[in-house]
Structure 1
């Protein structure tokens, strides 16, 4: 685990070129989730080659100033106000139409800087960015598969219900939960979910309700939680996985 991960766990800001980028606390989560949508627009799915070539910052300004979506720039400024802890944010353009953000009248963020800051913000707050260029038909199939899996597994508790569950599971005061970062909160939920599942399986094993082979390992409270790097990994399978599934179910000779 690197220092960036440790800072996320401890809720510390990440410094980039003398700027502190602060993780978002749970008390600000609703506003953050609303504003962060401006970072999640799939730029590479646009058909115009000049748009695909743009930096993400220029892309947002293009949509906001030239394409009739000024709310995107409003969301961007409000998002940056949260993560930089300042309302003193402006921008300038040069003769080549290069865009620079100015924080507190002294710190400048160019278009390349912004791409890196965007990744830091998303990593700090467990936001998945999908920059893949997918065929529209495949995207629709992925959407349908995800909706099917959600119906099959049951609807996930919303943020308010997750906060209540956290309070019940950890016996934490709501005021203390509000001061957790989104990262700390979500990681805590994942770990507690694993702990409760592991306890249930271990109890079922020793009570004889579950048969476990000699080589089968049940999860423990410290089992590593795999984190997917592919935003579509929950609905896609490799050809090898498909062939194995087909063979298991007698679909191939």
Structure 2
């Protein structure tokens, strides 16, 4: 996978490059500023950009560059934000289009290089990777939406795990049920949230956005499966 790493910290940038390169990824360019990032993307057309939110020339330049990449390349270039700060509004700006190939991780919570590699691979393949801390903050900050009231406790629990970026297999293993069971639950969630299939819509991401915008706090979610 062809990757660009953008961060104004040379130390962090070098660390990310080393971790991803050791996993076999091809680092085609590095960027220190948002302008350098946009130029590098135009020149190299990578499959994935790993981007810090706060880069020169202004505080949120990395975020704005990430949104531009998302909109300009329409999913052919995926974006994984790696931020020092928990900024849920920024996460929603990035994920708000409902397309896949987007992620938001917190630097301090990436405990192992393997965690970063796994997230990069997931986002690079068109999936999502959202730090659970970001999910929880968004959940606390938003009211429940009436569409979520339609979901059973089991369906809400599965949707919360989807929002963490887990695959159907990972959710099935976590809840000790069959993958087919999870696939069925997610299909019901899509139907209850009025998410119809379409050529330009990633229903999994759109369902996550409903959850992030309107779900009840995680402490109120039933922990039992069933």
Shorter-chain TM-score bucket reads under 0.3
TM-score relative to the length of structure 1: 0.26
TM-score scaled to structure 2, two decimals?
A: 0.28
Q: Is the strand fraction higher in 1 or 2?
A: 2
**Quick check: which has more Rg, 1 or 2?**
1
